[in-house]
């Protein structure tokens, strides 16, 4: 089948990350995939080797017109996060099918949430009444954490690779010094409790090495020495997607942000703290609460999420290793529940077969 995935990069690279991961998963199953992206610059570090089965097209008005004139329409059009594909391409997609050909399918790949509305809206049709797609129907496809949703992206060999991962070897190859101290990944925006977290690690009775990802996390840290009491800070370069997985696998505690890294942290199985993307109307508060309910987060992990996301104020909970054991159990249990379900790609294929 021919798949076109459309992506507009809003900020923070998360949309590009999700779309690239989906494109690679499809190509790994020998599907023909074109990724239309308006700003492919992040792929230079996110996927420096590319993928032989994914054709990346810089999405411009002139480029859309050329591709629409030259190429066959896709069998499946995926509009990521309501990004409105170019009218020329919609017009090509809407052209009459040859006799006996399966119907083309148009999906709106939505944002990830654990809120109840996801199960209600997943798979619902959305008729198109104007523009070049007039008369067509697009369908909502919601990723999610339950059987009644679109599931989560997961490669078939992911857990086997996770089990075979050698932490010491990876750290040595990355030039990250390690003497058995606790490793913490910091991938965040600008959390209100960041300075309190640094102070807690600095004054702790056990050594901690904070691995700070490039970009906003690195910029959020106040300038200072790399060694602060019991805390050592190591700044990382931008990491390709595979190496970011390795970072999460190497760490004993993962601070993550957005959607793609949350999912990868769940697969990693270590205790995690999620900074959700903030919204002006505070709608992200309920989204965070829904996730914490699904995770069955212990009270102290729930409180840290509230502090980390600026929903509450107060002292951070205990972050020593013994205190993290219930957090570890919650994440491991959540991962076990997810592994009993089909992944997003399997559910996507079934949905396409039903609608085509």
Hey, which residues are catalytic here?
A: 15, 259
Going by C-beta distance under 8 Å and a sequence separation of 6 or more, which residues neighbour residue 333?
Answer: 296
Distance CA(305)–CA(77), nearest Å, equals 36
Query: DSSP letters of 44-104?
Result: HHHSTT--TTEEEEE--HHHHHHHHHHSPPPSEEEEETS----HHHHHHHTSPPPTTPPPP
CA distances from 46 to 39, 83, 188, 235, 243 (A): 13, 21, 17, 17, 9
Q: Extract the tokens encoding 135.
A: 């008369």
Decide: 78 and 18 in contact? Cβ < 8 Å.
no
What is the three-class DSSP state of 313?
Answer: coil
Distance CA(235)–CA(246), nearest Å, equals 16
Q: What is the largest CA-CA distance in the chain?
A: 73
- The position carrying tokens 């089965």 is 53
For the chain, how are helix, strand and coil distributed in percent, rounded to 5? 40, 15, 40
Instruction: Count Cβ atoms below 10 Å from residue 228 Cβ, excluding itself.
Output: 16
Q: Extract the tokens encoding 189.
A: 């925006």
Decide: 9 and 35 in contact? Cβ < 8 Å.
no
Going by C-beta distance under 8 Å and a sequence separation of 6 or more, which residues neighbour residue 156?
Answer: none
């Amino acid at each position: 089948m021919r798949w076109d995935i459309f992506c507009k990069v809003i900020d923070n690279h998360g949309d590009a990350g999700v779309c690239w991961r989906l494109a690679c998963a499809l190509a790994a199953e020998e599907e023909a995939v074109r990724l239309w992206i308006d700003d492919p610059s992040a792929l230079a570090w996110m996927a420096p080797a590319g993928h032989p089965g994914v054709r990346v097209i810089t999405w411009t008005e002139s480029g859309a017109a050329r591709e629409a004139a030259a190429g066959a329409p896709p069998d499946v059009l995926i509009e990521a996060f309501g990004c409105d594909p170019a009218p020329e391409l919609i017009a090509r997609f809407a052209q009459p099918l040859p006799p006996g050909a399966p119907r083309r399918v148009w999906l709106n790949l939505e944002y990830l949430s654990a809120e109840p509305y996801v199960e209600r809206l997943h798979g619902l049709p959305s008729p198109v009444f104007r523009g070049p797609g007039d008369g067509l129907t697009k369908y909502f496809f919601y990723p999610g954490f339950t059987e009644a949703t679109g599931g989560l992206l997961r490669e078939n060999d992911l857990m086997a690779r996770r089990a075979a991962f050698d932490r010491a070897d990876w750290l040595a190859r990355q030039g990250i010094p390690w003497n058995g101290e606790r490793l913490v990944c910091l991938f965040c925006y600008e959390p209100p409790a960041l300075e309190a977290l640094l102070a807690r690690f600095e004054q702790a009775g056990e050594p901690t090495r904070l691995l700070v990802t490039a970009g906003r996390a690195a910029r959020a840290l106040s300038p200072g020495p790399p060694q602060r009491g019991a805390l050592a800070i190591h700044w990382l370069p931008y990491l390709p997607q595979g190496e970011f997985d390795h970072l999460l696998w190497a760490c004993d505690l993962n601070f993550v942000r957005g959607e793609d890294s949350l999912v990868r942290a769940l697969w990693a199985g270590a205790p995690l703290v999620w900074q959700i993307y903030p919204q002006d109307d505070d709608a992200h508060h309920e989204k965070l609460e829904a996730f914490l309910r699904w995770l069955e987060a212990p009270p102290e992990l729930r409180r840290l999420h509230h502090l980390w996301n600026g929903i509450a104020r107060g002292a951070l909970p205990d972050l020593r290793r013994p205190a993290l054991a219930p957090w570890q159990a919650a994440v491991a249990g959540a991962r076990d529940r997810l592994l009993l379900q089909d992944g997003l790609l399997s559910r996507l294929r079934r949905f396409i077969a039903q609608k085509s």
